[in-house]
């Protein structure tokens, strides 16, 4: 039986990457007087590395003008990541990044029906807090039974650590939960912990294979375009839809 919804953040709760984190990284480069800029396409390739600091190190490894030694690069990555997170908080405060349509409604519906909800991301806590305080108000934490972030785990997604941690923390069996994700790394992380997953496609992962998911669709705001198809073609995806998909997980049915 479904008792708990587990929300990924970047790409799932909100489209944070292209016009949030990416712009914030570019702001950090500019503030540090570095000529580096990440365009939309290049950032898309870097997104296969989870973790902003890890992403910086990956990019530096390909740049002739990056510091030559690993300790120097790590120091620079730490500094740029700190600046990036400050810039991200400013972008979020200006309401340039908002919850995806259908997300606030499902959070409300789940809360009203007594379902538990938790955040499971490997993004830095400071970024999650900035976004959710802005979008859900000062009392946002009360809506979630747990908020697992990058600092809580040794290995970021696609490792299952964040999902295993939330299961242990909330005393949940994997099949009591349902993860909402947008990216292959997140799907792999949830699956690695034995948790069924529903995928809402995001801008950067619009076509990536996510065959292990229970259902895949364009977003919670729209009942059209889902695999498996939803019966009524008007309105948003509801808790009843998620519950139905989740019940199929008991028999291990996926999109295959
Ligand atoms: C999202 C990420 C993060 C964000 C940037 O992962 O990979 O790195 O892009 O946030 P998840 P940080 O799917 O776990 O939400 O700079 O704080 O890492």
pLDDT digits (tens, 9 = 90+) for 75-133: 999 999 999 999 999 999 998 899 999 999 999 999 999 999 999 999 999 999 999 99
Indicate the SS3 state at residue 15.
Answer: coil
Residue 123 CB less than 6 A away from ligand 1 = yes
Q: Distance from CA of residue 91 to its chain's centroid?
A: 18
- Which ligand 1 atom sits closest to the C-alpha of 156? 14
Q: How confident is the model at residue 251 (pLDDT cuts 50, 70, 90)?
A: low
Peptide bond into 228 cis (omega under 30): yes
Substitution candidate for ligand 1 out of 18, 123, 186 with most atoms within 8 A of CB: 123
Residue 256 has pLDDT above 70, yes or no: no
Task: Name which of 106, 116, 144, 145 is nearest 242 in CA terms.
Answer: 106
Residue 255 has pLDDT above 60, yes or no: no
Residue 177 has pLDDT above 50, yes or no: yes
User: What angle (nearest 5°) sits at the alpha carbon of residue 1, between those of residues 185 and 161?
Assistant: 30
Q: Given this model, what pLDDT does residue 183 score?
A: 96
10 is catalytic: yes
Residue 157 CB less than 6 A away from ligand 1 = yes
pLDDT digits (tens, 9 = 90+) for 45-66: 999 999 999 999 999 999 999 9
Residue 127 CB less than 6 A away from ligand 1 = yes
Residue 83 CB less than 6 A away from ligand 1 = no
Is residue 38 within 8 A of residue 54, CB to CB? The reply is: no
């Amino acid at each position: 039986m479904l008792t708990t919804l587990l929300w990924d953040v970047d790409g799932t709760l909100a489209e944070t990457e292209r016009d949030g984190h990416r712009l914030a990284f570019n702001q950090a480069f500019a503030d540090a007087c570095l000529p580096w800029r990440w365009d939309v396409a290049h950032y898309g390739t870097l997104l296969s590395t989870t973790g902003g600091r890890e992403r910086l190190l990956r990019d530096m490894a390909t740049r002739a003008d990056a510091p030559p030694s690993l300790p120097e690069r790590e120091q620079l990555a730490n500094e740029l990541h700190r600046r990036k997170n400050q810039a991200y908080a400013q972008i979020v405060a200006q309401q340039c990044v908002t919850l995806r349509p259908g997300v606030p409604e499902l959070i409300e519906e789940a809360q009203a029906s007594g379902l538990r909800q938790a955040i499971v991301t490997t993004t830095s806590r400071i970024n999650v807090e900035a976004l959710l305080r802005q979008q859900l108000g000062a009392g946002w934490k009360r809506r979630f039974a747990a908020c697992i972030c990058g600092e809580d785990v040794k290995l970021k997604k696609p490792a299952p650590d964040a999902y295993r941690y939330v299961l242990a923390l909330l005393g949940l069996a994997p099949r009591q939960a349902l993860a909402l994700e947008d990216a292959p790394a997140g799907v792999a992380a949830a699956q690695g912990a034995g948790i069924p997953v529903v995928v809402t496609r995001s801008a950067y992962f619009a076509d990536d294979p996510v065959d292990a998911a229970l259902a895949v669709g364009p977003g919670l705001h729209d009942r059209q375009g889902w695999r498996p198809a939803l019966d009524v073609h008007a309105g948003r995806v509801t808790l009843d839809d998620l519950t139905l998909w989740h019940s199929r997980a008991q028999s291990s049915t996926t999109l295959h």
